[in-house]
Amino acid sequence: MKNHIINFDNAATTFPKPDEVKKSVIYAIEHCGGSAGRGGHNLSMHTSQLVYNARQAAADFFDAQTENVIFTSSCTHALNTAIKGVLKDGGHVVASSIEHNSVIRPLMALSKQGKITLSIAKVYDDNSKTIDSFENAINVKTQVVICTIAGNVTGQLLPIKEIAEMCNKRNICFIADGAQACGIIPVSLKSGINILCTSGHKGLYGIAGTGLLVTDGKYKIEPLTQGGTGSGSLEFTQPDFMPDSLESGTLNTPGILSLKAGIDFINKRTIQDIFRYEEKLADIFLSNMRDFDKITIYRSPNAKYVPIISFNVKDIPSEKFASYLNEKGFCLRAGFHCSAMAHKSLGTKNGTIRFAPSVFNTESDVKKLCLTIKNAF
């Protein structure tokens, strides 16, 4: 491994992590020897309190009730729990045309099993057209609408508030994938989201193996797994109250504490400052590459984005050029980013290279990357 690596693959997982996050993991390993919610002894009670504090911090961050915050192993885990838990009895579902596989694959599995019918709402660079697309896809049998807040390939922001409003008026459950938005822009259940699923290790700066499902409690979510809750030990059935009903098995204490530390880091710096800084880095990339005639940047002047940029260089396969950048010390993800539908919408044949900065990148890092891209020719 090179001595100095510049990471621009923060849309996959942020790296490096804040010092507070590192310290929280070490503390958990050294001092949290008990299992949260399982035992009345001091070790268990201490761990339980810290886990509760983390749950409360996440609830405050997303304007939810504390008991309605569920710790998961990833955003994928959260999305599968939400999708399959709400659609236990089937129904019609609407999803956007730029969804991650974490949404499309469970929906396709349910569709193949004959449990649901699925409609895809096309996403445009014009929000009014996107809203119309969702309106036209919804019918009287629609039970769930699910879409990403910000696409993971280009970072395009969807009109979440308007989509939430159309769902709320029709008593349709609205599930939002916040993996590329949470920690970057303000996200709140007050916007009309019924169930928010997100990663803990991306914009929230926790460690890998963490995720969140945050619900307003309006729609019942049947658990994917049963047992090992610590509560109701004499019962043969899963507890029917939150968060226990959706948290089977021993909780990931180091991960949960790291997630709280990440949220504390964001609150201290402020989410507005984080967005402004990362947007500035994205603007530097765009301004430096704008006159470079060998690059294709997948952005529209009509749409809004989080600080993610997808691009290709000439007709070089994305993975081949990303390999060249890797040799020069830059980490950028190339390919199809677990999002076949988004790439189909873009019309890419060999995927794209994704530039995704974090607060730990510098202006100099971005300028060096731009120069390296240009110097390849």
What pLDDT, on a 0 to 100 scale, did the predictor assign at position 3?
A: 58
Could you give the domains of the chain? Answer: 6-17+270-374 (3.90.1150.10), 19-268 (3.40.640.10)
Length reported for the chain: 377
User: pLDDT (tens digit, 9 = 90+) per residue, 168-194?
Assistant: 999 999 999 999 999 999 999 999 999
Q: What is the pLDDT of residue 304?
A: 98
Using left for φ > 0, alpha for ψ between -120 and 50, and beta otherwise, residue 341 falls in alpha
In contact, 261 and 206? CB cutoff 8 Å:
yes
From CA 173, how far away is CA 142, in angstroms rounded?
9
Model confidence pLDDT, tens digit, residues 62-72: 999 999 999 99
Report the greatest alpha carbon distance in the chain.
69
Look-up: residue for tokens 């043969």? 236
The whole-model pTM stands at 0.96
Give me the amino acid identity at 99: E
The Cα–Cα gap between 86 and 128 comes to 28
What pLDDT is stored for residue 39 in this prediction?
A: 84
The rounded distance, in Å, linking the Cα atoms of 136 and 260 is 40
